[in-house]
């Protein structure tokens, strides 16, 4: 059951994350680089990094390819969201980022399980 639980955690967390990353990905490929600059590197690089953390890496996590490595950009993105973007907000506003953070740190620590490309 542990491996089924890891599969469920990986797929469900990553699919929900993709719903946040897809609009950013569409914005990026559409050439609209208007985006926040929470860490001071510029709007376009911030958007590009958010797309990697919220869209590209979750796809890798779903299939279980380089899973532990793929969680790192997503974890960093959620740290920025929780601590910088929503740092001054009340907890209910940053709660979603914290929940994603917990889920992806768990995947990093536990690995993808046997139902993944990493185990094939």
Q: 10-residue block means of pLDDT along the chain (120 residues)?
A: 96 98 98 95 97 98 97 98 96 97 98 92
Domain count for the chain, please give it.
1
Which range of residues forms the domain containing residue 54?
2-113
**Would you say residue 118 lies in a domain?**
no
Asked if the structure places residue 105 within a domain, the reply is yes
Domain annotation covers residue 76: yes
- Asked if residue 91 is part of any domain, the answer here is yes
Q: What pLDDT sits at residue 119? A: 87
What is the widest separation between alpha-carbon atoms in the chain? 45
Residue 48 lies in a domain: yes
Q: Is residue 24, in this structure, part of any structural domain at all?
A: yes
Give the 3-state secondary structure of residue 113. Answer: coil
**pTM for this predicted structure:** 0.94
* pLDDT the model gives residue 80: 97
In a domain, 108, yes or no: yes
């Amino acid at each position: 059951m542990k491996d089924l639980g890891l599969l469920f955690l990986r797929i469900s967390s990553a699919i929900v994350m993709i719903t946040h990353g897809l609009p950013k990905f569409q914005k990026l490929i559409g050439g609209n680089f208007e985006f926040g600059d929470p860490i001071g590197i510029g709007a376009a690089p911030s958007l590009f990094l958010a797309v990697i953390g919220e869209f590209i890496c979750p796809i890798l996590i779903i299939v279980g390819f380089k899973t532990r490595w793929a969680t790192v950009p997503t974890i960093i993105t959620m740290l920025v969201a929780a601590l910088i973007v929503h740092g001054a907000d009340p907890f209910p506003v940053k709660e979603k980022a914290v929940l994603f953070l917990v889920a992806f740190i768990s995947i990093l620590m536990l690995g993808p399980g046997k139902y993944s490309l990493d185990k094939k």
